[in-house]
Chain A
Amino acid sequence: MIYLDAAATSFQKPAAVERAMSEALRTMSSPGRGGHALASRAEGKLYECRERAAALFNVPDVERVAVTFNATHGLNIAIRSLVRPGDRVVISGYEHNSVLRPLNAAGAQISVASGPVFDYEAALLAFDRLMDRETKCVVINHVSNVFGFELPVYEVAELCRARGVPLIVDASQSAGVLKVDAGALGADFIAMPGHKGLYGPQGTGLLIASENALPLLYGGSGSDSLNPGMPDFLPDKLEAGTHNMPGIAGLCAGMAFVQSQTPEKIAAHERALIRHLAGELAKIWGVHVFSDAKGMHQTGVLSFEFDSLSSEEAGERLSNLGFAVRAGLHCSPLAHRTVGTVKRGTVRASVSAFNTKREMDAFAETVERMARDG
């Protein structure tokens, strides 16, 4: 199987991830739950995880790094903390349901800063136009999970700072690949999964939080235990219940891999693969590719469609032929609406540090055969 679904979950992990998880199961109990050596080992590993994240994402204080179950968990905390019923929230036209659904549940009035795919300036202009005095919060996806479109997060962050609007960044597709600089962004929240570009296991995530954060879950934290409410300090107020230590140990090893490779090198590798694949697919009659012609604002994610096949049918056939891709709406109907693909969806190929040019060629040849044979 050639795995091209890294935007959902990076399947190939560094060998150290599995080793770290196994070691955690054998040698660690839970942090903050005992004074013994097994708890102490877990505490050290959890702190290492926070320290690595703080270094990788330029977070000024390790206490701002909270561990979550995934990016959706982090985004729910962020939205619940900042958005009240009736609040006007400006979002990009490329947000995932992990943003739309919590916003709808919070009763937000959503305004979509929409713009054509891969048009960086238009996206920024759309935010500039929509962010008015009534705007209570901005949520922006750093990279579209459907099209790999890199949005102008740093410029939007500057607008937010100038206008005093809180900012939430969804770094699901960018963490570990693009520069996610918490210091430069100054965002109230940056949410990210552990199981994509950070090469950790599923069920892990990180939230870089501000003091504005409110608890989503209530329960034991190993601290402040006479308080009937949650502690009022980070990260404890966001981490009720027992930590996923094997997951955290795996995430820590995944981040160590990213730090050793550097996000810049990983991004260059992934962009080169996707540019090559986009070029090959664009030559095929009956296939339409969504790619950034200038190659400046697209990461390792590529959507395309067949004239003669539905995206789901194409995805199924590709699976039978040994390729793992994702087809359909990718939990991002808004992105598909923005680009005009909501009725048919797309087939998405997404790569990681472990994919090769040879795999791209094999995939392009298979797509060519499918398009030819119908």
Chain B
Amino acid sequence: MESYYLTCRSLTYAQKVSRALTAARIKNMIVRTTQSMSREGCGYAVRVSPEGLTSALAALAAASIPPKRVFLLHRGGMAEEVSF
């Protein structure tokens, strides 16, 4: 299943993002980024469903905690960066 990865600079930041999304009742999960998503090596992202993406980005903008980058992870595991 396709999903969106909201990448974060750190685990703590990802936890902040996750808390904000949960408070906004948006299903999410903290995950490790794949190497293809990260220019910096190991990192963290918060995964949301395609249906949840728009409201997730709105909730994060309202909380002033934007993600670093947004990726669409296709079924085969290929990651594609999307602008937001």
Once A35-B31, A40-B30, A43-B30 are accepted as A-B contacts, the answer to whether A235 and B12 lie under 8 Å apart by CB is: yes
Complex interface residues of chain A between 232 and 252 (CB less than 8 A to chain B): 233-236
Q: A297–B11 Cα gap in the complex (Å)?
A: 41
Is A83 positioned at the interface, with any CB of B under 8 Å from its CB? no
Contact B32 A226 (CB under 8 A): no
A226 in contact with B39 (CB, 8 Å): yes
If A43-B30, A224-B41, A226-B41 touch, whether A231 touches B12 (CB-CB below 8 Å) is no
A224 contacts B40, C-beta separation under 8 Å: yes
Partner of A226, one of B9, B16, B40, B44: B40
Chain A residue numbers with a CB within 8 Å of B49 are none
Chain A interface residue count, CB cutoff 8 Å, equals: 20
Query: B9, A222: Cβ atoms under 8 Å?
Result: no
Residues of B1-36 whose CB lies within 8 A of A: 9-13, 15-16, 30-32
Which chain B residues lie closer than 8 Å to A231 at the CB level? 9-10
Interface of A is mostly: loop
- Report B-chain residues with C-beta under 8 Å of the C-beta of A31: 11
Counting CB contacts under 8 A, is A50 at the interface? yes
Q: Known interface pairs A35-B31, A35-B32, A43-B30. Does A223 touch B16 (Cβ–Cβ under 8 Å)? A: no
Partner of A233, one of B10, B30, B31, B42: B10
Q: Which residues on the A side are within 8 Å of B43 (C-beta)? A: 223-224
Q: Which residue, of B11, B31, B43, has the highest number of chain A Cβ atoms within 10 A?
A: B11
- Say yes or no: A63 contacts B13, CB within 8 Å: yes
Residue of A nearest to B35 (CB): A226
- Find out whether the CB atom of B12 lies under 8 angstroms from the CB atom of A63: yes
Contacts of A63 in B (CB 8 A): 10, 12-13, 16
> Which residues of the other chain, A, contact B32 by a CB distance below 8 angstroms?
35
A225 CB, min distance to chain B CBs, angstroms: 3
Q: In whole angstroms, what is the CA distance A329 to B41 when docked?
A: 49
Given the interface pairs A62-B16, A63-B16, the reply to whether A223 lies near B11 with Cβ below 8 Å is: yes
List of A residues within 8 angstroms of B31 by Cβ? 35
Q: Does A11 contact B (CB under 8 A)?
A: no
Once bound together, how far apart are the Cα atoms of A216 and B47, in whole Å?
33
Contact across chains for B9 and A225 when beta carbons are under 8 A apart: no
A interface footprint on B43-61 (CB within 8 Å = 1, 0 otherwise): 1100000000000000000
A31-78 CB contacts (< 8 Å) to partner B? 31-32, 35, 40, 43, 47, 50, 62-63
Please name 23 pairs of A and B residues whose Cβ atoms are closer than 8 Å in the assembled complex, sorted by A: A32-B11, A35-B31, A43-B30, A50-B12, A63-B12, A63-B16, A222-B11, A222-B42, A223-B10, A223-B40, A223-B43, A223-B44, A224-B10, A224-B40, A224-B43, A225-B41, A226-B40, A227-B40, A227-B41, A233-B9, A234-B12, A235-B10, A236-B12
